Chains A and B, each alone.
Chain A
């Protein structure tokens, strides 16, 4: 695994990170019982397959699912890999088949508006090609590392992707009365049986994924359910989205990160390039 080096110099944060790293190395993750903070297991730096490519935990289908995916797509990719008829077909070509499968699957639950949006979306008009951040769904499932921090009573998600920050309110407040959307919306969280559950509304319309090219409206509501597991220590997300304007039923995306206390976030930036491409 290639990672950036930790900064030199002893500080309280470095000592704390070292302690957490040692604890994780010995398989004794920081649990709620040890700290009394139900958020404690979720705090720290988490990285997906791009940053932990060599880790033995990952299977080929995890690389197919690098930006999050429906479970059915992951299973389809596994079936393609297991089919002897595909033994000489490059993984990249099988990925194309898996993405086409995912696009067909989500099309079965799209409303007429959802179908129209899917037909209009293409890699040529993907907003990120014009330096516009992803929007909520792709942001929370993006492939780059993230840090989850305690921020007083709340949680702060720090994403390497687009260098964005996101606050998740844990104090029981409701969503605001206004319906003005924003890039990442308004998020409130709670803990249920050790899981971190976050509800988000009031997001801008955006893409659901570039693999499916499906989109959603600003009426989207989302529930993220994060759980932490050991051996290896990892964070698993089940993201359920509902949108009365584009989806006829809930759509579920899953994604996994590994606990990577030594990974540092890199400043992200975007540059719009001239040209015809």
Chain B
């Protein structure tokens, strides 16, 4: 299995979300990245879920961290902290850091079995739909 850095996709219309703190302060919410890697540590903790994972790029391993939604909010949606384990191959989709640090504001998590989970507190698509309804 060869983890692949899938690249940064400029995506002005891409989704974004609101985390327990204000992600717009730390992440570039106008861009979206998709990254494949191998889980090294996962915690459904406070203040946010975190997944640490290794990404192979140009023959080197980069240490990445994906930060998602709040523990108790995700628990209400059915998360229980066993979604992934060290060694699992995952794909994460979200927003890059503003300063280029290897962290990603995690919105979508693709599990080893192919299921895709929304990993944030609030679904940006729902907010966009609400916005359209209000503007009508």
Contact = CB atoms under 8 A, between A and B. Distances in A.
A20 to B, nearest CB: 21
Interface residues of B, number: 47
Contacts of A67: 21-22
A90 B30 contact: yes
A269 B46 contact: yes
Nearest to A271: B45
Interface stretch (B2-10, B68-76, B83-91): B68-76
A4 interface: yes
A99 B22 contact: yes
Contacts of B72: 144, 160, 266, 268
Interface stretch (A107-115, A123-131, A225-233, A251-259): A123-131
B73 A144 contact: yes
A8 interface: no
Contacts of B130: 58-60
A269 B70 contact: no
Nearest to B32: A90
Contacts, number: 130
Given A60-B131, A66-B18, A92-B17, A50 B45 contact: no
Interface residues of A, number: 48
B26 A269 contact: no
A60 B127 contact: yes
A271 B14 contact: no
Interface string B94-135: 010000010100000000000000000111101110110011
A90 B71 contact: no
A148 to B, nearest CB: 18
B11 to A, nearest CB: 9
A82 B135 CA distance: 7
Interface of A: 2-4, 49-51, 53-54, 58-60, 63-64, 66-67, 81-82, 87-93, 95-96, 99, 123, 126, 128-129, 131, 143-144, 160, 162, 210-211, 213, 266, 268-271, 273, 275-277
A17 to B, nearest CB: 18
Dominant secondary structure of chain A at its interface with chain B: loop
B29 interface: yes
Contacts of A213: 25
Nearest to B121: A50
A271 B123 CA distance: 25
Most B CB atoms within 10 A — which of A3, A4, A270, A277? A277
A241 to B, nearest CB: 19
B41 to A, nearest CB: 7
B63 to A, nearest CB: 8
The 3 closest A-B pairs by CB, nearest first: A92-B16, A96-B24, A92-B29
Contacts of A89: 12, 30
B121 A95 contact: no
A15 B114 CA distance: 44
30 contacts: A50-B121, A60-B127, A60-B134, A63-B18, A63-B122, A64-B18, A81-B134, A88-B12, A89-B12, A90-B124, A92-B15, A92-B16, A92-B17, A93-B24, A95-B22, A96-B25, A99-B24, A128-B21, A143-B20, A144-B70, A144-B73, A210-B22, A268-B46, A268-B71, A268-B72, A269-B46, A271-B46, A273-B41, A273-B43, A275-B52
B21 A277 contact: no
Contacts of A126: 21
